[in-house]
Structure 1
Amino acid sequence: MAEQLEHPYGTINIELVGAWLHMKPEDDGCFWALNLMKYVEVANYDDGREAVSGKAADDTYAPIGPLAAVGAEVAYLGDVKDQPLGTPEWDRVAIVRYPTRASFFAMQERKDFKEAHVHKKAGMDFTIILSCLPNTHDEAASTDGDLVLLIDKGTEDVFASVSGATQVALFDVEGVIIGDERRYDRARFVRVTDDATMASLVSAAENAEDAQILVLRSFIDKLVDTVVTA
């Protein structure tokens, strides 16, 4: 029997994953896996190797080879430099565009991915991974100001009425792949250039259950490009 990966950093959403496993190939297609990551202070390796930080362990994990092998691409990578709203206090955000759900499963079975995964297991305290589908995007969006990730749920889009923020991309959340009991409906990336707009975003969402506002420091930003070229 093939070795099964352990995921101590979150609970797999059996309902969503089960639906994917039964998805017909003609119904499958691109999705964007949005990863919210919180690290342990010191990585916990089962083999007792020299201690490094959880973040350093995740840097070692970086499964670029396995992703490329299944046709996936890193669309975004950035650290969280401020978090006006939401729990827990996240450390990093990453987004990967997968060509299909089937490719996501195929990667989990690769030997090179399993070998790299030991670092993620050692360094990650908790993660939420959302399966997202593009709704709208703006290729000409300004790059001025901070890139801010807004996540919310429910029929009311709590951030839609806030003026002053430049929308970069809006994604509909298909479902939680791994995480906890929380569920979400939208993930929006905007640019914010002033404190008043940020305060308005926080005010709009302060009574919204489980909403998240994350201010990001970007290292890789091909988010809109990966939507355009999908």
Structure 2
Amino acid sequence: MKVENHIIPGDDQISAMMNDPGPSGPIVMVNLLKFRDKAKYADGSNPHMSGRDAYALYGAGVVPLVAKHGGRMIFSGPTTFLMLGMVEDLWDQVALVEYPTRKALFEMSSSPEYQAIHHHRDAGLEGQLNIETTPDFMISG
């Protein structure tokens, strides 16, 4: 299995997301996050900030946007141990985010509010995997 972390989706992935409505109900995005040691802002600002801290600025802004588009943050936390399997380099954090539809995710990530905070995500991430799942069942809470 080949695994490649990326920061933004490729053209094929964006096209598929835009042109395929996806599942008819909710989706949960599994985010496997790898942070830069030091944030890397395009304008050179904040050279001493960690990637994790830059991503935390993005996270503080994106959680209300997710809610505005009908979604919710289910879980976010650091990885602490690999219990099964083997990878060369473990991701730093895992986040689970529920959206009512794939379209809601696309609309949120295309919004001006999202574009205004996206630079913190880019500065903080070395790469990530985003995996769309459809729940067999949901535990409310």
Give the TM-score category using the shorter length: 0.7 to 0.9
- TM-aligned CA distance change 1:13 to 1:132, over 3 Å: farther
- Ranges of 4+ aligned residues in structure 1 off by more than 3 Å: 10-13
| CA RMSD, 1 decimal | 2.4
The count of aligned residue pairs is 131
What TM-score, normalized to structure 2?
0.81
Separation in 2 of the partners of 1:77 and 1:123? 16
- TM-aligned CA distance change 1:10 to 1:30, over 3 Å: same
Which of 30, 34, 42 does residue 30 from structure 2 map onto?
34
Aligned residue for 1:57? Answer: 54
Separation in 1 of the partners of 2:11 and 2:76? 24
- TM-aligned CA distance change 1:123 to 1:229, over 3 Å: same
Whose radius of gyration is greater, 1 or 2? 1
Gapped runs of 5+ residues in structure 1? 1-7, 137-226
Q: Determine which structure has the larger helix proportion and give its number.
A: 2
Gapped runs of 5+ residues in structure 2? 1-5
- TM-aligned CA distance change 1:22 to 1:83, over 3 Å: closer
CA shift for structure 1 position 48:
1.4
1:69 alignment partner AA: K
Identical counterparts, % of pairs: 24
Structure with the larger RCO, 1 or 2 (CA within 8 Å, 6+ apart): 2
Aligned residue for 1:228? Answer: 139
Aligned residue for 1:202? Answer: none
Q: Determine which structure has the larger strand proportion and give its number.
A: 1
String of CA shifts for 1:128-155, please: whole Å, max 9, x gaps: 010012236xxxxxxxxxxxxxxxxxxx
